[in-house]
Amino acid sequence: MSKTAQIEIRPADFNDPQLRHLVEAHHAYGAAHYPAESNHELSIEELAADEMQLFTAWLDDQCVGMAGFKPFGADAAEVKSMHVLASGRGHGIGTKLINHILKLANELQISEIYLETGSRDASAAARAMYEKFGFAYCGPFGDYREDPESVFMRLQLK
């Protein structure tokens, strides 16, 4: 990657092998750090579902990050499957992905965004980033249940 790496956010191309690699890396990361019953990762088929929008982050010509956006209820949405490969960390990719999702949420007049992430040290950087955006800790939402391996966060937009 060049010293003047360009970051681009794009809608996911589910036929791109780089996206498949990224989803596999996301699943492997979760499996390495959390018990299976506490992993809420989605398959590539679930990420491609009609109600989901998945965005990829490209650093030069490499797909190094992704974040999903799934509306639920009248005016809420969830951030799903957020992941940045180790090779993409330190470039502000997570920030760009969240900014992209928040812009979309505002365009769709979503009033609150939720997310679930891990409670262990493996997810500390993600939690810190979400906190910087103003996400606050909350209880389980949607179909989630209390789980010591999970934390739930919410951001009020309106």
Q: Per residue, what are the HEC states of 39-106?
A: CCCCCHHHHCCCCCEEEEEEECCEEEEEEEEEEECCCEEEEEEEEECHHHCCCCHHHHHHHHHHHHHH
- What's the pLDDT at 1? 45
Taking a C-beta distance cutoff of 8 angstroms, is the pair 111, 75 a contact? yes
Residue 13 CA to its chain's centroid (Å): 16
- What's the pLDDT at 158? 76
Residue tagged 């789980």 (tokens):
147
Strand order in the sheet with 53-59: 7-11, 53-59, 62-72, 76-84, 112-118, 150-156, 136-138
pTM given for the model: 0.92
Residues of the chain with pLDDT under 50: 1-2
- What's the pLDDT at 135? 98
- What's the pLDDT at 36? 84
- What's the pLDDT at 2? 44
